[in-house]
Amino acid sequence: MGREEEEADATVLFSDGGVVVLDRTPFYAESGGQIGDTGTLVSGSGTARVVDTTLALDGLHQHHVEMVDGTLEVGGVVRAAIDADRRTAIRRNHTGTHLLHSALRRVLGDHVKQQGSYVGPDRLRFDFSHFEALTLSR
């Protein structure tokens, strides 16, 4: 699925009450410093709040959930919906890391490389390499 989709119907492949795996998902999994999506999974038998989304070693999305009511049955269909406002805020900060990297390279030089980052809905952090400490004038 593309990252533009905010909702999708999906089949539950695995559910243990704390982690749910679906056959398809609109949720972005934590990667490259960007945190995973949150949202909801709703079926006829239960509702879960998705509090984080990560990638398993096999590349499947793991939806870390808190059950609100009922259960999510393996083989059952759920409506998976991300928190769209939160994703929009994360997208803005993701774009901010690219703009910051570009500005640093323009001011300090092409040797500046990204070393890490954190991209969340309320803030971003951008770690970079440079051969000397920055001054107030830079």
* Residue finishing a domain among 44, 67, 82: 82
Percent of the chain having pLDDT more than 90? 88
Q: What is the pLDDT of residue 2?
A: 56
Q: Do 11 and 59 reside in the same domain of the chain?
A: yes
pLDDT of residue 17: 79
pLDDT tens, 4-41? Answer: 789 999 999 999 979 999 999 999 999 989 999 999 99
What CA–CA distance (Å, rounded) separates 14 from 21? Answer: 5
CA dihedral 41, 46, 49, 50 (to 10 degrees): -40
Checking if the pLDDT of 138 tops 80, the result is no
45 within some domain: yes
Indicate whether 49 and 102 sit together in one domain: no
pLDDT higher than threshold 80 for residue 3: no
For residues 78 and 107, state if they share a domain. no
Domain containing 58 equals 7-82
Domain tally, the chain: 2
Residue 99 pLDDT exceeds 90: yes
Produce one character per residue of 60-73: b if its CB has 16 or more CB atoms within 10 Å, e if not: bbbbbbebeeeebe
Give the mean model confidence (pLDDT) for residues 107-136.
93
Mean pLDDT of the chain: 94
Residue 2 forms part of a structural domain: no
Same domain? 106 vs 73: no
> Are residues 70 and 103 both part of a single domain?
no
